[in-house]
Amino acid sequence: MKDVFTIYKEKLTTPDIAIELIKDKTKFAFPMHFMQPRALFEAIAKKARNNGYTRLDAYYFSSRDHARETILSWDLNKIIIPHSFFISETERKINALNDQEKGEKRVMFHPCHFSQSPKIFTEVIKPDTFITMVSPMDKFGYMSIGLSNDYASSLLRTAKNIIVEVNENVPYTFGSQNTIHVSEVSAIVENNIPLLEVNDQEPKPEELKIAETIADLIPNGATIQMGIGGLPNLVCKKLENHKDLGIHTEVLTTGMIKLIKDGVVNNSKKNINTGKTVYTFAIGNKEMYGLLDKNPSFESYPVDYVNDDYIISKNDNVISINSTIEIDLTGACNSEHLKGHQYSATGGQVDFVRGAYKSKNGKSFIALTSTASNGKFSKIVPKLSGPVTTTRTDVQYVVTEYGIVNLKGLSSSERALALINIAHPKFRDELLKEAKKLNIL
């Protein structure tokens, strides 16, 4: 029987040779964010430009620099077809260029709840090949998928071909289903590049009041979930005097890491995964990646576990903080559609809104500044301009810089009045008129 290091050497090859496993007119998939494999992408793009492919269908959530600069380049868009479950800056730029040319749609958007993505990928999409960045192999032959468990772990076990790009900078993370054995890999390439990092967004002045309002309603011992951006980081800063917090979150962020390092988070009050920080993917910086490496206090799980509303609700005092683009006078949220275009996606918002409310003493917050475009437009609107992301029957707390309302149990007219009261004052009279026209009041 061959030892794992011999197997590794036999499967180690160049990116150009490795991607020969990706056949023309097939489907391939890759992970989200910072585990997207640069060297493999470059090889695929080069082959496509040299007429090596006539069509490939690429499936993924949320592209980043490595994909944007290679396989998702505009000149390859008719050969490598993007199938995205989350619209990011890359896809928005492709769509903008498409609008200028008035051509056919260039990005195929697939709506879904994030929690359902493993099932959709493995039972519906069924990609032939999965490519990903991984950590170096340990002495037992296992490589970790690092920062991105989410749907990636399910594809490691179902795709016909698995091509990995080993990077010494990828942390070896613990958890569930987040490793692959060298014997299960089809081909290996090596590319020791620095991992991408995220720059913390500067919060808006109005977000300070929103963060203070939310933080005041988070008890000691709560288990928190929040997203990426200036507001979530502000909330984290406002929690610096809290005690015994826990984390069960879709995305692990730098704001949460600071709470852990400061001793605010110890996960001691959680009913499940006690003592562990639970997440499905991580976006951060070099400091975070170093902390995650071989650290048993952090556990990454597949997204169909982390975002399962039943699993979420097993912890008490779950706090979920999400944002939205607009909310109508019934309480329904559009969190993904802007100016006639798909802007982001549903993601895990509904998963955590429902899970937090099911939790004993849990609270779900939808947070938004009252206006957009430097005060030109109200984000509290009579009717949504896009699809419903989170239904009116799911929304609990809504917070703006003008206050907070709990919509649970309110009548339709009470909801409308409550939301108007936290809208920007200059839009309240018009919203009242519209509510009457719509027979809400």
**Which residues are tagged catalytic?**
250
First-residue to last-residue Cα distance in the chain = 76
Alpha-carbon distance values, 300 to 62, 235, 294, 305, 368 (Å): 18, 23, 12, 10, 29
Cα 19 to chain centroid distance, Å, stands at: 27
Cα 134 to chain centroid distance, Å, stands at: 19
Long-range contacts of 86-93 (CB under 8 A, 24+ apart): 86/32, 86/61, 86/62, 86/344, 86/345, 86/347, 87/336, 87/342, 87/343, 87/344, 87/345, 88/62, 88/63, 88/64, 88/344, 90/63, 90/64, 91/63, 92/341, 92/343, 93/68
Please give, one letter per residue, the 3-state secondary structure of 406-427: ECCCCCHHHHHHHHHHCCCHHH
Selection from 215, 229, 267, 223 nearest residue 249 by Cα: 223
User: According to DSSP H, which parts of 217-348 are helical?
Assistant: 230-238, 254-261, 286-292, 303-306, 309-313
Cα 262 to chain centroid distance, Å, stands at: 25
Residue 268 per-residue DSSP state = T
CB atoms within 10 A of CB 351: 25
Q: How far apart are CA 27 and CA 22, in angstroms?
A: 8
The structure tokens listed for 343 are 């802007």
Element (H, E) at 162: strand 161-166
Alpha-carbon distance values, 339 to 330, 385, 389 (Å): 21, 8, 16
Strand 363-367 and strand 161-166: pairing?
unpaired
| Residue type at 318 in one-letter notation | V
Element (H, E) at 21: none
Q: How many helices (H) and strands (E) does the chain have?
A: 16, 24
